[in-house]
Structure 1
Amino acid sequence: MNDRILGIAALVLAAFMTWFGHDLEAPFAYEPLGPKAFPLLLALVIALCGLTLIIKNRHTADPNPPGANARIGVMITIVAGYAMLFQWLGFVISTALMTTLVARLFGGRWVYAIIGGVVMGVAFFLLFDKVLDVVLPTGLLGDLL
């Protein structure tokens, strides 16, 4: 039954991605397919995986161990907070904060979680902004970056 529930959730997610991704239009044409190709292709893959889970349903999963559902809820809250604070705090701070909290959620020690979060925030900013030329919000660190 767990596979079918996950398959239905995947179909709902794919429908949601298709609904929002279908109307994506860029103000200028920088590639032939445009920005809607990626979310629509990803929605197709997710939908096919969801259908496979619904139809085949050969595997049964054990119920989640105690506390797992609470950790899943906390993870969803962390990701939602990341999305809300991303623009205001900027990529580096919000990514460092999110990574630190996720590391702690999975049992990491505070020192390693903070170091890993800061390193990932800075490294991914440099990769995306400087190497790949993807503009990211600088937020509170605007003048330093």
Structure 2
Amino acid sequence: MTADRIILGVTLVLAALYFWATQQIPSLEIGDPLGPKAFPRLLGIGLLLTAALLAGEMWKARHEKPAPAEPGSMVHYLVVGGVAVWTWLYFYSFEPLGFIIATVLYLLGLTGYFNRGKWIANVSTAILFPVFTYLMFTKGLGVSLARGVLPF
């Protein structure tokens, strides 16, 4: 419970500093109608929403006794190492394969391991998330992402 409070406090301080730093970005009179502050503001709002979700979970679990911590086994270290290697492969394949294909493969690997047996949810998440994210960045925000082997 104490760790949750520390994380909540750090997240709120980080969000406040992030919003302050966003206000320091100079606004241009010409160019993008959204301006350079739009995306940083969205990230700041995301930080605040994350803090609100954590606060809600803390409020809901305030009367529950925490489970005793178990010592880490070698399997846990192997899983963390595997995720780190898988993430490195994702970063390495990002440019040649492109955002959509690399992210689909990355998410399929992670959801296939951590959410075993739920292939419909895993495949739909692994495909829909990168496609919608790609469209949001390229069409909505005008940010170009790695195309890779795809023609668009």
Select the structure of larger CA radius of gyration: 2
Q: Which segments of 5 or more consecutive residues in structure 2 lack a partner in the other structure?
A: none
Q: Alignment length, in residue pairs?
A: 140
> In the aligned structure 2, how far is the partner of 1:131 from the partner of 1:29?
13
Percent identity over the alignment is 11
Residue matched to 1:23: 21
Task: Give the superposition deviation at 1:12.
Answer: 1.9
Residue matched to 2:44: 40
> In the aligned structure 1, how far is the partner of 2:147 from the partner of 2:112?
24
Residue matched to 1:5: 3
Q: 1:113 to 1:32 in 2, by over 3 A?
A: closer
Q: How does 1:94-109 map to 2 (within 5 A)?
A: 94-108=102-116
Task: Give the superposition deviation at 1:95.
Answer: 1.3
> In the aligned structure 2, how far is the partner of 1:47 from the partner of 1:118?
26
TM-score relative to the length of structure 2: 0.53
Aligned: 1:58 with 2:63 = yes
Partners of 2:15 and 2:44 within 8 A in 1: yes
> In the aligned structure 2, how far is the partner of 1:69 from the partner of 1:124?
32
Q: 1:29 to 1:122 in 2, by over 3 A?
A: closer
Partners of 1:17 and 1:43 within 8 A in 2: yes
Q: 1:22 to 1:4 in 2, by over 3 A?
A: same
Task: Give the superposition deviation at 1:92.
Answer: 0.5
Q: What root-mean-square deviation, in Å, do the aligned CA atoms of Structure 1 and Structure 2 show? A: 4.8
